Amino acid sequence: MNNGVTLLKPHILGIAGSPRRNGNTDRLLREAIKAMAETGYSTEIINIRDLQFSPCLGCNACSKTGQCVQKDDIQYLQERLVAADRIIVAAPVFFMGINAQTKAVIDRMQTFWALKYVFKQPVITESERLPRYGLFLSAAGTRFPDVFTCAERAIKNLYHVLDIKYYGSCAYKGIDQAGEIDLHPSAFSEVHAKALALAQL
């Protein structure tokens, strides 16, 4: 009995940042989304490589008007980010930082920064939907101890601006060629377990 109130499923948004279709982070993301779906979440994946958009111009128009002067697929992605209850970004590390396509998307989120810090408006207005949580999945070809530091810092900052609590990462070194993640002894089980835990928050 819900007294006529429609109970919507919580929604998970997966963002695939790799330019390589069916690459290692794509595979990790699909595993996470599968785990979330098992718990009753509605799910969707947006592939950055399929979006049509330009990088941030650094013009600061969003700090004056609250709107980006560029009208492209970023507005759609922003709508989906606001609608999601849980968010998973999956992106590889290139040259010790998050890959260019994903970084370009993060830069375009400056409109959210302006909304929050210049206009003092909440990114999420429905207080009953808070808190929201986000996870980061990544892979890197090198094995340097700090190979994920810069990428993770960018994701943490993105989530902070979006009022998303950071739930950690599953990140794997020494994974370079497409499909190499399949040879990792524990990656998929770890991602599955982490996603299940994320769903239960």
Q: Which DSSP string corresponds to 128-187?
A: GG--EEEEEEEE-SS--TTTTHHHHHHHHHHHHHTTEEEEEEEEESS--STTGGGG-SSH
Q: How confident is the model at residue 5, as a pLDDT?
A: 42
Whole-number pLDDT of residue 125 = 78
CA distance 35 to 100: 28
Report the topology of domain 11-199: Rossmann fold (3.40.50)
For residue 68, give both structure tokens: 């980006």
Q: What is the model's pTM?
A: 0.93
pLDDT of amino acid 3: 41
Q: What is the pLDDT of residue 187?
A: 98
Q: By the 8 A CB rule, do 66 and 114 touch?
A: yes
pLDDT tens track, the chain, 201 positions: 334 444 467 899 999 999 999 999 999 999 999 999 999 889 999 999 999 999 999 999 999 999 999 999 999 999 999 999 999 999 999 999 999 999 999 999 999 999 999 999 988 877 656 689 999 999 999 999 999 999 999 999 999 999 999 999 999 999 999 999 999 999 999 999 999 999 998
pLDDT given for residue 80 in this prediction: 96
Report domain extents, the chain: 11-199
